[in-house]
């Protein structure tokens, strides 16, 4: 296993990273330094205790999609292939092949969860044909209900088809859609009323049109900067029974 680890400025200079507490940023660096050659960490709790981080720090890294957790307790650094480029002849494959088989590489080189195993397609960053998908928010398929929809967000509450996601990104931009999906996903996780919203394409479009979300930073593209906490406004008022916009 390689001893040197790298961190991309694209990731650590992003607003999403710098907005996190210093303790959370520090935990990310420690996890990255101890990851294997494909970004997996088998003792995140031990590392958390070693660097004096809190449970909230690791939870925040998961919520902000900087790490991806598995039921086994193993985590993987989502942007590992952006941070690190290891030559195929020097790479030592991860021991966590079951978890590895659940990952896909998106077009931006970030890991995401996929519903179906990919038979070790993710050998190195040097294989561009293994990178599929266009979304920044990780997605999972929704069972076998023939809906063609995928679940987006850290907590997987937001259901959209591929075509809906592509149109939203095309019309409003990747960063805005990522932000709104994250906020809506967090809201539903905290309130447990997922089933109330049957048409998330419409919900997102209404949120953009009526500016229900405020980012509270220099990115005024999302909304006015009069709400530093970036909370949802009037989400209970949405009429989900109308046709999609």
Using alpha carbons, select from 118, 104, 192 the residue that is nearest to residue 150.
104
Structural domain range at position 181: 143-237
Token couple for 120 = 């070790």
pLDDT of residue 238: 45
The pTM for the full model equals: 0.49
Classify residue 109: in a domain, yes or no: no
What is the pLDDT, as a whole number, of residue 109? Answer: 86
Would you list the DSSP string of 129-156? Answer: GGB----SS-EEE-TTSS--EEEETTTT
- Report residue 155 as tokens: 């907590």
Q: Which two tokens stand for residue 132?
A: 């599929």
The number of domains in the chain is 2
pLDDT at residue 7 in the model: 95
* pLDDT at residue number 209: 85
Whether 221 and 151 map to the same domain: the answer is yes
- In this structure, the answer to whether residues 147 and 92 fall within a common structural domain is no
154 with 225, same domain? yes
User: Residue 217 and residue 227: Cα distance in Å, rounded?
Assistant: 9
- 83 lies in the same domain as 168: no
- How many helices and strands in the chain, by DSSP H and E? 10, 8
What is residue 193's predicted lDDT score, i.e. its pLDDT?
A: 59
Along the chain (245 residues), what's the average pLDDT of each consecutive run of 10 residues? 83 95 96 95 95 93 94 94 84 91 86 57 36 46 56 85 87 85 82 70 87 50 40 46 37
């Amino acid at each position: 296993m390689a001893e040197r680890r790298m961190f991309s400025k694209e990731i650590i200079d992003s607003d999403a990273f710098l907005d996190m507490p210093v303790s959370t940023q520090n935990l990310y660096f420690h996890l990255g330094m101890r990851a294997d050659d494909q970004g997996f960490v088998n003792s995140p709790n031990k590392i958390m205790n070693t660097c004096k981080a809190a449970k909230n720090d690791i939870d925040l890294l998961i919520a902000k999609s900087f790490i991806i957790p598995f039921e086994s307790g193993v985590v993987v650094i989502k942007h590992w292939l952006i941070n690190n480029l290891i030559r195929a002849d020097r790479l030592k494959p991860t021991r966590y092949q079951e978890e590895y088989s659940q990952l896909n590489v998106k077009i931006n080189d970030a890991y995401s969860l996929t519903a179906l195993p990919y038979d070790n397609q993710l050998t190195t960053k040097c294989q561009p044909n293994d990178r599929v998908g266009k979304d920044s928010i990780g997605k999972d398929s929704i069972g076998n209900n023939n809906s063609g929809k995928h679940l987006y967000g850290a907590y997987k509450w937001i259901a959209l088809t591929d075509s809906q996601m592509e149109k939203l990104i095309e019309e409003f931009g990747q960063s805005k859609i990522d932000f709104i999906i994250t906020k809506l996903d967090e809201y539903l996780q905290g309130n447990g009323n997922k089933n109330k919203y049957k048409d998330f394409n419409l919900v997102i479009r209404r949120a953009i049109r009526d500016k229900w979300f405020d980012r509270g930073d220099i990115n005024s593209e999302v909304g006015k900067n009069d709400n530093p906490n970036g909370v949802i406004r009037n989400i209970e008022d949405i009429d989900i029974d109308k046709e999609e916009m």
